[in-house]
Structure 1
Amino acid sequence: MESPSNLLLKLSRSLFADTAAQEKFIHAVTNPQPFNPAILWVQPKPTKNPFDIEIPVSWQPPFVDRLA
């Protein structure tokens, strides 16, 4: 793995005082997890959703549906 850029290191230090949290943040940024696509509803949701959707996570806003 390449070493993180100085700007990424500086950002992690400004966000987290704990070095373990800094390393976890750098790892998350340099090795992102894949996520399924999502729909952001800007108009009222249809009564019958035309897509297969995932169960919402706790932090997910009600106007967003994650697709299966």
Structure 2
Amino acid sequence: MNGREFRTLAKSYLPAQPGADRFTYSVTVSYTNGYTKTVGTADGAEAPAVLCQVIDLTMQITTDLAATTG
């Protein structure tokens, strides 16, 4: 993942049609210079690959932690 690529993302990527039972995601990244960037999306949206990768990686880390502490 490229930090520069994440910084260029829009503030949100939402599906064209709203729907029930969709997960929503909000990703906030803090940079060493104090800058923070928050990007939101939801299931069904056409989000850029880098955003999907960050969400997938975060979910995997959470799953791994739950398996080791549970």
Regarding TM over 0.5, the answer is no
Structure with the higher strand share, 1 or 2:
2
Q: Which has the larger radius of gyration?
A: 1
TM-score, length of structure 1 as denominator length: 0.25
TM-score by length of 2: 0.24
More helix by share: 2
Structure with the greater relative contact order (CA < 8 A, sep ≥ 6): 1 or 2? 2
